[in-house]
Chain A
Amino acid sequence: MLRTIAVLYVTGLVALPVASVVQHTFADGLAPVIEVITSEDFLAALRLTAIVAGIAVTINTVFGVGMSLLLVRYRFRGRRFISAVIDLPVSISPIVVGVALILVYGSYGWFGGALEDAGFRVIFAVPGMVLATVLVSLPLVLREIVPTLEEAGIEQEQAAQSLGAGPWQRFWRITLPTIKWALAYGVALSLARSMGEFGAVRVVSGSVAGVSQTLTLYVNDSYQEFGAQAQQQAFAAAFVLMAIAVVLIVVIAALRPKEDRS
């Protein structure tokens, strides 16, 4: 009984919508799909998504590793405050994150005017989209690494130190191998989150086709246009996003047990 409910629930909630996207995508065969995914606007959106997600994940990986070392290894005033603030951007709505960014970096925001005078545009440009994506996936890497670091303790590092290893040698030879699975899992999660982000990026991007349109924005804008051609674009792009997500889920699932075993 319980199992039937569970199966029905998951089918209705996940499997049916996914299947319907697949069905709509390939309703007229493969040719229209290929036409969409080789179109200029689609490729521009794909490229922009890759750039934005790539930069954001890189930033969050460096930040996550550095900050988790700081939070686990050092006791300082304001440590718990910092830890709580890092969780804030994922707890509030992405739209709010986007609006907040405009208030700070927009043309009439706190720093926006000054930055534009210096020739650096944040809002309605790639930096703003990266910023929004960084914020909405800020703690994902950090929260994966912290428990692993706490469990590993400090003694292996001290042993390495007494054997002559300097800070960088300790990081590459001890810290990184210790956290590698947690790190990989965190990166995969961040990547999934970054590529799928819509709300915050929508607010700060302006969504100009071929210029500041990521894949999620491409799906949304195409879907809201009239005509079978636009619908086809929306479904094909949605399918690509979904396929990437599935690959990431498989990667994450493959990483999980390894982490538990060690």
Chain B
Amino acid sequence: MSQHPGRSGGRSGEPSGIVVRGVHRKFGDFVALDDVDLEVKPGGLTALLGPSGGGKSTLLRIIAGLDYPDRGTVEIAGQDATFLPPQRRSVGFVFQHYAAFKHLTTARNVAFGLEIRKRPKNEVAEKVQELLELVHLEQFADRLPSQLSGGQRQRMALARALAVEPEVLLLDEPFGALDAKVRKELRDWLRRLHDEVHVTTLFVTHDQEEALEVADEIVVINEGRIEQVGSPGDLYDRPANDFVMSFLGPVTRLAGELVRPHDVEVLLDERAGAVEVTVTKLLRVGYEVRAETLAADGSTPWVQLNRVQVDELGLQVGAVVWLRALVVRAAA
């Protein structure tokens, strides 16, 4: 494809960023967003990651104009958009449950935004064809949404959002309603699509694996506050606090410190800084082995090992070993 839909990110020719300043939103007594500041990089694929009820969807909806902040501002492509209605924001929105127009065919769904803008018929047809090819739905152009699978509907919804060349693309738990296998496929596919179409993309997810795998940048949000912003590697290796560390991957507590279970060394003799423990359980999951232990202080740290390591160490239930953290986290 010589020309990618949405590549230019609309008016300016360059991808546009999103700037959120001091956004506060309350629902009754519940503070959904507590003075949030956020800058989303132009042209990036950014994940808003957090537990349910943490405020990530509310933030996305405020950026889309589907909800409004009690105070604070939202800027899209350098323009104040805080109280602009959604139809004047140039924002593409993809819903968890697709929001397919049930009475329109796939092609008419994709064409919707262009028809609203009264583009010439041949231009619309051309663009729709191009987008259907991009999302691999060209042979389903004349089907109704009810005749498509969940994954196909979501790809249609994405093509529909991209058709109007939005400044930014917002996705609210886009794969949340799909089964595990399709979810995995669509994840890879979204990553590749974004490499082709460099529109600034912000997607909400509660699945840390999805965020780590797909995003360039992750924004961890919890209880209405942003906990940390960084690359997947940054966040995993250098979490700002215990919440980010435990939300992004497995953790265990060794001598009071939170560590990753695969960053723990098992020693057969006592050394400086090592904790003496008794192995209580060896749980095999395929090639991986989860070794559970009991320390003298009553804590129960566990270690992620593999079969080769267990065999080399001659590890058995009841054995006394010493555990030492390989990676010591800098104080947050």
Residues in chain A within 8 A of chain B (CB atoms): 152, 155-156, 158-166, 169, 173-174, 177-178, 262
Contact = CB atoms under 8 A, between A and B. Distances in A.
A165 B116 CA distance: 6
A163 B85 contact: no
A155 B95 contact: yes
A174 B101 contact: yes
3 closest residue pairs by CB, A with B: A163-B113, A155-B99, A159-B99
B66 interface: yes
B161 A163 contact: yes
B305 interface: no
A160 B112 contact: yes
Contacts of A159: 93, 95, 99, 101, 157, 160
Interface residues of B, number: 27
Nearest to B85: A161
B102 interface: yes
Given A156-B102, A262-B103, 5 more contacts: A160-B112, A161-B87, A162-B91, A163-B164, A164-B88
Interface string B182-209: 0000000000000000000000000000
Contacts of B117: 164
Nearest to A180: B103
A124 B101 CA distance: 49
Interface of B: 64-66, 85-89, 91-93, 95, 97, 99-103, 112-113, 116-117, 157, 160-161, 163-164
A155 B97 contact: yes
B245 to A, nearest CB: 35
26 contacts: A155-B95, A155-B99, A156-B102, A158-B86, A159-B99, A159-B157, A160-B112, A160-B116, A161-B65, A161-B85, A161-B86, A162-B64, A162-B65, A162-B92, A162-B161, A163-B87, A163-B112, A163-B116, A164-B87, A164-B116, A164-B164, A165-B87, A165-B112, A165-B116, A169-B116, A173-B116
B21 to A, nearest CB: 22
Nearest to A157: B99
Nearest to A160: B112
A174 B160 CA distance: 15
Contacts of B113: 163-164
Interface centre among A160, A164, A177 (most CB of B within 10 A): A164
Contacts of A166: 87
Contacts of B160: 159, 163
B103 A178 contact: yes
A161 B91 CA distance: 10
Contacts of B86: 158, 161-162
Contacts of B95: 155, 158-159
A156 B87 contact: no
Contacts of A169: 116
A111 to B, nearest CB: 40
A255 to B, nearest CB: 16
Nearest to B163: A163
B143 to A, nearest CB: 15
Nearest to A161: B86
B103 A162 contact: no
B59 to A, nearest CB: 16
A141 to B, nearest CB: 20
A152 B97 CA distance: 12
Nearest to B115: A173
A159 to B, nearest CB: 4
Interface centre among A155, A161, A162 (most CB of B within 10 A): A162
A262 B116 CA distance: 25
Contact of B101 (A156, A164, A262): A156
A93 B259 CA distance: 76
Interface centre among B87, B97, B160, B161 (most CB of A within 10 A): B87
Nearest to A170: B87
Contacts of B164: 163-164
Contacts of A158: 66, 86, 93, 95, 99
A162 B168 CA distance: 11
A177 B103 contact: yes
Contacts of B89: 162
Nearest to A262: B102
A116 B329 CA distance: 88
B155 to A, nearest CB: 15
A162 B101 contact: no
B148 to A, nearest CB: 15
Contacts of A177: 103
Nearest to A166: B87
Nearest to B109: A159
Contacts of A160: 101, 112, 116
